[in-house]
């Protein structure tokens, strides 16, 4: 029987290579953390909530996500503050009872292979996303600055580029389904441009 993977449904998907800061205080997630810290590596799955909220349970979840590996942890009274990092993608084969925290049987999704012929596409995508962020910075507060540093590894850099882009939650979820780096970069550029267009429309003078 496959091992049960601890799961953390969130209001935003996690992409490989991206950091994930969390504050854990709900009893179910404190119980999850206790189990996660006994694992090697100390990881858990992150999926986007389809319907419902992060607190209280009972939410409906999407079936594609990213594993998160605990990198730093600190105790703050009855709360644990941790930083995890997205590693690899997975699909949910079966949700198990929340006993006492969300769990599922999952199948890892293979990493995307890199081809040096994609160097130009990556550079072009990065220029486009950073330009979109620069234009958006004049209109709203951003989660990620236009000059946010990215990893040297080209595949991780491609995922991070999607992670810092202007795309919304459902677009980032769609990006998780990419079957090649070229597709990932194309979806990122298109999603970022579409998000910027909506943002600029909303801020257009009447």
One domain, residues 138 and 104: no
Segments in 60-168 forming alpha helices (H): 119-137, 154-164
One domain, residues 148 and 82: no
CA distances from 76 to 24, 137, 163 (A): 10, 33, 28
Q: Which domain holds residue 127?
A: 116-202
Query: Any idea which residue has 């090697």 for tokens?
Result: 40
Q: From 52, 76, 108, give the residue that closes a domain.
A: 108
pLDDT of residue 2: 59
pLDDT of residue 60: 81
pLDDT of residue 135: 96
Percent helix, strand, coil in the chain (nearest 5)?
Answer: 35, 30, 35
One domain, residues 77 and 10: yes
Query: Any idea which residue has 């004049």 for tokens?
Result: 138
**Residue ranges of the chain whose pLDDT lies below 70:** 1-2, 52-59, 206
* Domains contained in the chain, number: 2
pLDDT of residue 1: 47
One domain, residues 156 and 90: no
């Amino acid at each position: 029987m496959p091992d049960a993977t601890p799961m953390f449904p969130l209001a935003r998907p996690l992409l490989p290579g991206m950091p994930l800061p969390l504050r854990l205080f709900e009893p179910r997630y404190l119980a999850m953390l206790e189990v996660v810290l006994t694992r090697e590596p100390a990881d858990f799955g992150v999926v986007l909530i389809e319907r419902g909220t992060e607190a209280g349970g009972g939410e409906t979840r999407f079936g594609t996500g990213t594993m998160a590996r605990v990198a730093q942890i600190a105790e703050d009274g009855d709360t644990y503050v941790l930083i995890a990092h997205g590693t690899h993608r997975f699909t949910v084969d079966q949700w198990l009872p929340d006993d006492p925290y969300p769990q599922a049987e999952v199948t890892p999704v293979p990493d995307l292979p890199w081809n040096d012929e994609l160097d130009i596409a990556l550079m072009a995508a990065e220029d486009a996303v950073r330009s979109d962020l620069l234009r958006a910075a004049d209109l709203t507060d951003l989660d990620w600055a236009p000059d946010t540093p990215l990893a040297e590894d080209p595949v991780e850099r491609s995922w991070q580029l999607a992670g810092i882009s202007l795309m919304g939650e459902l677009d980032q979820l769609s990006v998780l389904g990419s079957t090649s780096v070229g597709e990932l970069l194309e979806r990122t550029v298109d999603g970022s441009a579409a998000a910027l267009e909506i943002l600029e429309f909303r801020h257009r003078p009447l």
